Amino acid sequence: MRHLWTAVAAASVAACTCSAHGAKNVLTVGDPILAIDRDVVNLTSIYPANEGPLKAIDNLYLPSSPQTSTKYLNFGRFNTGFIVQPSFGSSTIQSFRINTANDNEARDPATYELYGSNDDLSSPDNSTGSAENWSLISSGALSLPAARRSTGPVVSIANASAYKSYRMVFPTLKVPNAATAMQIGDVEFFQSSDGTGTNVLYSPDGLEDIRAIQLPTPPRSESISPVAQESFAAIDGNVNTKYLNVGINNTGFIVTPSRGPEAVNAFQITTANDAEGRDPTKYEIYGTNDPIGSTAHSDGIAETWTLISSGDLTLPTARLTADEVVTFSNVTAYASYKVIFPEIKGPAATTVPPAAGTITSMQIADIQFYADGTDLAGDFNGDGSVDNDDLAIWKTQFGYAGVGINADADASGRVDGADLLAWQRGFTATPAPVAGVPEPAGFALAGAALAAIAIRRRRGNA
């Protein structure tokens, strides 16, 4: 046992190289990173055959009938909705209620605009719904429940005018960067102010005249990521998370390393947990020293970028596996970098809705940038000092396995107690104020980690 402790301590003496090819890591967990897709498209109203606007007024959204629950879904996302001429006849709508669909809360509308008209409907399905003369009745925010297949709150509106046709528009969504569509389970219109009385829109026979619409909407990037699979997951050092982007080809990210400008000359990608077809097969890497003006899920062109390198990728078929280090020539230190993945293994989906068997997203588990040089042992965030911030990174990444992990001081491929010893040695060698001394819990965790290593090795030698 004494020899084990000596060996582990000795491993922490040298400066940390922290990478698979003898250079220093550039990216740190928590660095500012933005998902992007340089493809910009015009959004268009379109819905699946069995999820059209009639499904919004059939009253089949309730959890009591999940097998037969329905919804209206529109891939146009923003400014989508419907126009309807109820068979009920002219009505004076003073309240409405929207009920949630079966899944994906991000798709719920967040705002509404309700219009009325005394014209017969003449706008075609999947149009802008603008052929009629419309008067704005009410607009505002929506507060739909997080629960699925649930009854939403009654929204009261001030209206004393009777109309025979209505237009409902949903300008925004709950989580716009994570929503591939707008959806609602059901909508109800009432002539009372409190949602009582007859639902003017109810259509059990499916014969109401209701049509999907989308008001004119500016072109926007195709970049979309689920909330838990945002770009931050690409640099968290955890192979069990991933960055996924529904934009498919030409997706990527912009990252600003907190370590400051570095001349990046290599990177390494780790494959995600599933769906090999989502793996990128090409890359482009750019650098800039401009302040970052691009926003999350934009096209990422608000800055002036210099192309550093581009080429093919041959990521492993095996999942959760690190690829070889990709190296290239670069001697210019940039403050921020942009990576684009122009193609995936595929076959990539090219239609909405996607054709059967096609791939609808790009994904990676992790990526690390490398630059020439070495890091101070235990300086996991590369800020030049070994302190509690580095200890916090070790605690977060303890147990992680992979390559290019910030807290993997000895480049063993796993964050364990040996890496904490490297931090402890660096911390002890660096003068620090009393307030900076780590809490005892950190060392207790270290002891447990080292004990676990000792037990594993002892069993291995038995």
343 has pLDDT over 80:
yes
Distance CA 386, CA 408 (A): 14
Q: Domain limits of the chain?
A: 1-18+377-462, 21-41+219-373, 53-218
215 has pLDDT over 60:
yes
Amino acid at residue number 218: P
Q: Do the Cβ atoms of 296 and 355 come closer than 8 Å?
A: no
For 125-158, the pLDDT digits (tens) are 999 999 999 999 999 999 999 999 999 999 999 9
The mean pLDDT of 403-430, rounded to a whole number, is 88
179 has pLDDT over 60:
yes
Residues 6+ apart with CB under 8 A from 43: 75, 76, 77, 78, 214, 217, 219, 220
Question: Confidence class of residue 449 from pLDDT cuts 50, 70 and 90?
Answer: low
252 has pLDDT over 90:
yes
pLDDT of 121 reads: 98
Residues 6+ apart with CB under 8 A from 164: 85, 86, 89, 90, 91, 117, 118, 120
Q: Is 453 helix (H, G, I), strand (E, B) or coil?
A: helix
Q: Got the DSSP string for 281-335?
A: -EEEEEEE-SPP---TTB-S-SS--EEEEEEE----SSTT-BPPPEE------BS
Question: Confidence class of residue 441 from pLDDT cuts 50, 70 and 90?
Answer: low
Q: Do the Cβ atoms of 367 and 231 come closer than 8 Å?
A: no
For 263-305, the pLDDT digits (tens) are 999 999 999 999 999 999 999 999 999 999 999 999 999 999 9
361 has pLDDT over 60:
yes
Residues in the chain: 462
Question: Confidence class of residue 349 from pLDDT cuts 50, 70 and 90?
Answer: very high
3-state secondary structure 241-258: CCEEECCCCCEEEEECCC
The token duo for 55 is: 């499904």
Fold of 21-41+219-373: Jelly Rolls (2.60.120)
One CATH from 3.30.505.50, 3.40.47.10, 1.10.1330.10, 3.40.50.920 for 1-18+377-462: 1.10.1330.10
Q: Which of 128, 111, 135 is nearest to 214 (CA)?
A: 128
Whether 21-41+219-373 and 53-218 share one fold: the answer is: yes
| Placement of tokens 């097969």 in the chain | 281
Q: Do the Cβ atoms of 260 and 335 come closer than 8 Å?
A: yes
Q: What are residue 214's DSSP bridge partners?
A: 80
Q: Is 346 helix (H, G, I), strand (E, B) or coil?
A: coil
312 has pLDDT over 50:
yes
Query: The whole model's pTM is what?
Result: 0.85
Interhelix angle 2-11/440-461, rounded to 10 degrees, is 120
Does the domain at 53-218 match CATH 2.60.120.260? Answer given as yes
pLDDT of 432 reads: 52
Distance CA 136, CA 119 (A): 14
**31 burial via Cβ count (<10 Å: 0-12, 13-18, 19+):** middle
